[in-house]
Amino acid sequence: MTVVFTITFGLLSAAGVLAILRLAKGPRTLDRILALDVLLVLIVAGVAVGIASSLKGFNIALLITVALLAFVGSIAAIRLVERWEEYR
């Protein structure tokens, strides 16, 4: 299972680098918000894999909380950008 966890961390890291590149490159604000949301999902997935590899599940409530806050934050940011572009 160690090999599986290592491969999973490697793939999540590669996806994280690509998400950071999209976050830096843009071209629009909504693309950056989406890239940040993807990056947060990858971080949550990485922590979940870390929890699975250590066989200690005491951080699961914290993991769920962070995932929900990331989702709510993304929705709030998208609505803010949508309203901001409406007033332009």
Local confidence pLDDT in tens for the 88 residues of the chain = 889 999 999 999 999 999 999 999 988 888 899 999 999 999 999 999 999 998 888 888 888 998 999 999 989 998 898 888 778 7
Residue type, 9: F
Reported pTM: 0.84
Q: Which two tokens stand for residue 53?
A: 């590899």
Kindly write down the DSSP assignment for every residue of 23-77, as one continuous string: HHH-SSHHHHHHHHHHHHHHHHHHHHHHHHHHT--TTHHHHHHHHHHHHHHHHHH
CA 25/CA 52 separation, integer angstroms:
33
